[in-house]
Amino acid sequence: AMRSMQNLHQNVNGWVDIGYNFAVGSDGLVYEGRGWNRVGAHAAPHNSNSIGIVLIGHWVSATPPALQLQTTQRLIALGVRLGFIRPQYSLIGHRQVSATECPGQALFNQISRWPNFTPNFQFEENDV
């Protein structure tokens, strides 16, 4: 999945690498894309003030496995603990800043119940 994502992002989109900062697999493994210290290419024009985490899969009607959801929450908590994400961060879905169905309705329903989810998101410069 990561190689195919890298191929799409580099060879089709023309980006230098995978656009996301991190990807989380259904097996609970975290894959580093651009990491904490590099600007992603996942939610223009908000890339410089956000961390992009993709949950690998198609989540329109199916809900991601519990392990994948838990790992994603732990990754966010790690980012806060390490100082890469501010404690009062805004959690949003890609569809809130771009014309897309991403992250899929089933996943969006899940994250809308997570801490810091921001239903009426207004992007500000210090949102990360």
- Given the candidates 1.10.3720.10, 3.10.105.10, 3.40.80.10, 3.30.465.10, the CATH classification of the domain at 2-111 is 3.40.80.10
Query: Which tens digit of pLDDT belongs to each residue from 32-62?
Result: 999 999 988 888 888 888 999 999 999 999 9
Q: What is the distance between the alpha carbons of residues 51 and 84, in angstroms, rounded to a whole number?
A: 9
Q: What share of the chain is helix, strand, coil (3-state, %, to 5)?
A: 30, 10, 60
Q: What is the distance between the alpha carbons of residues 23 and 3, in angstroms, rounded to a whole number?
A: 12
In this structure, what token pair is assigned to residue 119? 């239903």
Average of pLDDT values for 23-32? 96
Phi, psi dihedral angles at 31 (to 5 degrees): -115, 130
Domain residue spans in the chain? Answer: 2-111
The reported pLDDT for the residue numbered 108 is 96
pTM, two decimals, is 0.86
Q: Are 30 and 74 in contact (CB under 8 A)?
A: no
The amino acid that residue 25 corresponds to is G
The reported pLDDT for the residue numbered 3 is 72
